[in-house]
């Protein structure tokens, strides 16, 4: 019998074990990161997770609770620094999964929108929908 084609096998593995994609992503990412900054991050913030790993953990917790991209409005309250909006980083990764991103903004991750902003956010949530807010300051490591 012929063996499966590698692309087909790889796709099947990623569908069966989504975390395998995290391992591959981390292996690729490790080629491009600053080695000293990565070592400092691991030393001072042990247990740090990649954006993809956080995405998978969030999905595993929220999907069984009825959160779906169709009934959930994703919002972010993250520091406006450009590192938080890069492709593949946490906000981008979660936006890819959940769709639209309602910006609550704020230095250090604190939302600047106040009562009016949260009210506007709540009015954009689908009927009988759910809210998902990412509150995330960031730490710079040199």
Q: Give the 3-state secondary structure of 10-74.
A: HHHHHHHCCHHHHHHHHHHHHHHCCHHHHHHHHHHCCCCCCHHHHHHHHHHHHHHHCCCCCCEEE
28 pLDDT higher than 70: yes
Band the pLDDT of 17: cuts 50, 70, 90. Answer: low
Per residue in 61-111, pLDDT (tens digit) is: 999 999 999 999 999 988 877 777 788 888 999 999 999 899 887 777 778
3-state DSSP helix/strand/coil percent for the chain, to nearest 5? 55, 10, 35
Instruction: Write down the pTM of the prediction.
Output: 0.73
């Amino acid at each position: 019998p012929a063996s499966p084609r590698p692309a087909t096998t790889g796709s099947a593995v990623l569908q069966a074990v989504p975390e395998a994609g995290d391992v591959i992503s981390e292996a690729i990412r490790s080629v491009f990161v600053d080695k000293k900054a990565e070592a400092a991050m691991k030393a001072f913030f042990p247990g740090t997770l990649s954006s993809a790993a956080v995405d998978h953990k969030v999905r595993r917790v929220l999907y069984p609770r009825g959160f779906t991209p169709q009934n959930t409005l994703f919002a972010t309250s993250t520091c406006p620094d450009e590192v938080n909006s890069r492709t593949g980083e946490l906000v981008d990764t979660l936006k890819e999964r959940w769709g639209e991103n309602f910006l609550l903004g704020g230095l250090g991750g604190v939302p600047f929108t106040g009562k009016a902003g949260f009210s506007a956010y709540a009015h954009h949530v689908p009927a009988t929908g759910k809210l998902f807010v990412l509150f995330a300051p960031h730490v710079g490591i040199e």
